[in-house]
Amino acid sequence: MPWQWPVGALCAFMLALVTTPAGVSGAVLLLPIQLSILHVPSPSVTPTNLTFNVASVPGGLLRFWNEKRLFNELTWLLVAGTLPGVIAGAVIRVELISNGTAFTLLAAGVLLPLGLWLALGSQRLPRTRRSPSRRARGWIWLLSLAVGTVGGIYGIGGGSLLAPVLLALGFSAYEVAPATLTATFLTSIAGIATYQILQATHGGAIAPDWALAAFLGAGGFLGSYLGARLQRHLPERSLRRLLGLIACLVAARYIQTSVQASPPARPAHATTR
């Protein structure tokens, strides 16, 4: 519906503005807005979210490119893991968990630990620039593969899960942000292509809502560019604490929705004739 387009663009702008400095596209928080406010059907909401990533993330990447800090060793390591993972996740999303209740439970399972980590655990971690060892590269690749799979299922590209973990390993937000956003951008393209193939073989509402995605992408592009530009000036700890609290609230809402949607239990004395 037409009213969804400007509302979606405004929401996408605000989310990208706040989340880009932390290396997150905002899709992780845009998903519940699509489901609850914009009423995008599931599973079409997932590729729509990936389309938002493709359209909005280049705003931040353009700014990082201008600052000559877009590409680094961490960037290519993340891409090598998340790219095959997001393809596997898209297939799992369509084949195994296409019903709404399972999807909201999965969303809560991703958001709750992420929110708690951002709100509590990541605040006391040191921010030091480092070069990963060979062993560390292997673990980061495996982590990227797992996160890419979850990102393909959830429609977030994986950056929102990778960023706090990489900070825990000692990487600085200055280095993490361009790396995770680049991985998000490339894996989202792969995810969209996979969903389009699944659309051709399965039918139904699997393809993105292209009109809405265009407005989401336009708002996100502007927010992402401004967020990347303001990265050095925003209080990182306060921003992460705020994002963590929002993610926890959204997860709590998903759990409540799933419980309400569950069928009532059959009384113990009931029998089937």
Domain boundaries, the chain: 4-257
Taking alpha carbons only, the member of 29, 46, 132 closest to residue 90 is 46
Split at pLDDT 50, 70, 90, the class of 257 is: low
**CA–CA dist 244, 272 (Å, integer):** 47
Average pLDDT over all residues of the chain = 78
Mean pLDDT in residue range 255-269: 61
Q: Which of 8-12, 30-34, 100-104, 226-230 is predicted with the least confidence, judged by mean pLDDT?
A: 100-104
Share above pLDDT 70 across residues of the chain, in percent, rounded to a whole number: 79
> How much is the pTM?
0.76
| pLDDT tens track for 120-156 | 765 555 554 556 677 788 889 998 998 888 777 766 6
Could you report the per-residue pLDDT of 91-108, keeping only the tens digit for each? Answer: 887 777 655 566 667 777
Q: 204 pLDDT band (50/70/90 cuts)?
A: low
Q: Can you tell me the distance from the alpha carbon of 261 to that of 269, in angstroms, rounded to the nearest whole number? A: 23
User: How many CB atoms neighbour CB 211 within 10 A?
Assistant: 13
- The vertex-252 CA angle with 246 and 255, nearest 5°, equals 145
Q: 206-220 pLDDT, tens per residue?
A: 667 788 888 999 999
Distance, in Å, from the CA atom of 233 to the CA atom of 82, rounded to the nearest integer, reads: 30
Q: What is the pLDDT of residue 196?
A: 75
Position of tokens 């961490």? 74
CA dihedral 30, 31, 36, 37 (to 10 degrees): 40
- What gap in Å lies between CA 11 and CA 228, rounded to an integer? 17
pLDDT at 272: 42
| Per-residue three-class SS string for the chain | CCCHHHHHHHHHHHHHHHHHHHCCCCHHHHHHHHHHCCCCCCCCHHHHHHHHHHHHHHHHHHHHHHCCCCCCHHHHHHHHHHHHHHHHHHHHHHHHCCCHHHHHHHHHHHHHHHHHHHHCHHHHCCCCCCCCCHHHHHHHHHHHHHHHHHHHHHCCCCHHHHHHHHHHCCCCHHHHHHHHHHHHHHHHHHHHHHHHHHHHHHCCCCCCCHHHHHHHHHHHHHHHHHHHHCHHHCCHHHHHHHHHHHHHHHHHHHHHHHHHHCCCCCCCCCCCC
- Which tokens go with 245? 């609290």
Distance CA 157, CA 83 (A): 9
